[in-house]
Amino acid sequence: MKAKVTITLKNGVLDPQGKAIEHALTALDFGGVDEVRQGKVIELDLAETDEAKAKTQVEAMCEKLLANTVIEDYSIELSA
């Protein structure tokens, strides 16, 4: 199955990229934009076909490698 992992900065962690984008959007005259945050998305194909097992596996990947839980949260979406 396919997994999509979205990794975003935790609340309270200042996001320089998000801030810069917000700044640039404002400079480009896009008004009314606020709270811009940038994160990562990682897509994977898994050999695993069982959803529960796949989830456990991807969670382990996130904890071990994909996310830095000191500053980042992650969420996982699975699809066939």
Partner 1 sequence: MTDYNAKFNAIEVTDELIAEHGITKEEHGIMLDIMGRTPNYTELGIFSVMWSEHCSYKSSRFWLKQLPTEGEQVIQGPGENAGVVDIGDGQAAVFKIESHNHPSFIEPYQGAATGVGGIMRDVFTMGARPIANMNALRFGSPEHPKTRHLLSGVVSGIGGYGNCMGVPTVGGETNFHKAYDTNILVNAMTVGLADSDKIFYSKASGIGNPVVYVGSKTGRDGIHGATMASAEFDDDSDAKRPTVQVGDPFTEKLLLEACLELMSTDAIVSIQDMGAAGLTSSSVEMADKGEVGIELHLDQVPMREEGMTPYELMLSESQERMLMVLKPGREDEARAIFEKWELDFAVVGKVTDTRELTMMWEGQQVGSIPVPPLVDASPMYERPWEETPQQDIIAASDVKAVDSLTELLKTIMGSPNMASRRWIWEQYDHLVMGNTIQAPGCDAAVVRLPETKKGIAISVDCTPRYCLADPKQGGKQAVAESWRNLTASGAKPLAITNNMNFGNPERPRIMGQFVGAVKGMSEAAIKFNYPVVSGNVSLYNETNGIGILPTPVIGGVGVIDDVSKAVSIDLKAEGEDLILIGETKGWLGNSVYLDTVEGREEGAPPPVYLDQELANGDFLRGLIDDGLVTASHDLSDGGLACAAADMAISGKMGAKLVQPASSDVPAHAYFFGEDQARYLISTKNAAVIIEKAQESGIPAEIIGKTGGSDLKLGEGDAISLAELREAFEGWMPEYMAVEL
Partner 2 sequence: MKSAVILFPGTNRENDAIAALEQASGVKPQLVWHGETDLPKVDMIMVPGGFSYGDYLRCGAMGANSPIMREVAKAANAGVTVFGVCNGFQILTETGLLPGALMHNASLKFICKRTQLKVESNATNFTSAYETGQVITVPVAHNEGNYFADTDTLDRLEGEGRVAFRYCDEDGVVSDATCLNGSQRNIAGILNEKGNVLGMMPHPENAIDPLHGGVEGSPLFTSIVNSLS
Residues that bind partner 1 (CB under 8 A): 9-10, 12-16, 19-21, 23-24, 27, 65, 68, 70-71
Of 24, 33, 41, 60, the one binding partner 2 by CB under 8 A: 24
Question: What span, in angstroms and rounded, lies between the C-alpha atoms of 80 and 75?
Answer: 17
Length of the chain counted residue by residue: 80
- Residues numbered 8-67 forming contacts with a copy of itself, rule: CB under 8 A: 8, 18, 21-22, 24-25, 28, 30-48, 57, 60-61, 64-66
Residue 67 CB-density burial (10 A; 0-12 exposed, 13-18 middle, 19+ buried):
buried
Report yes or no: 75 and 9 within 8 Å, Cβ to Cβ.
no
Report yes or no: 22 and 40 within 8 Å, Cβ to Cβ.
no
The verdict on 31 binding partner 2 (CB under 8 A) reads no
Report the interface residues with partner 2, using CB under 8 A: 12-14, 16-17, 19-21, 24, 27-28, 38, 64-66, 68, 70-71
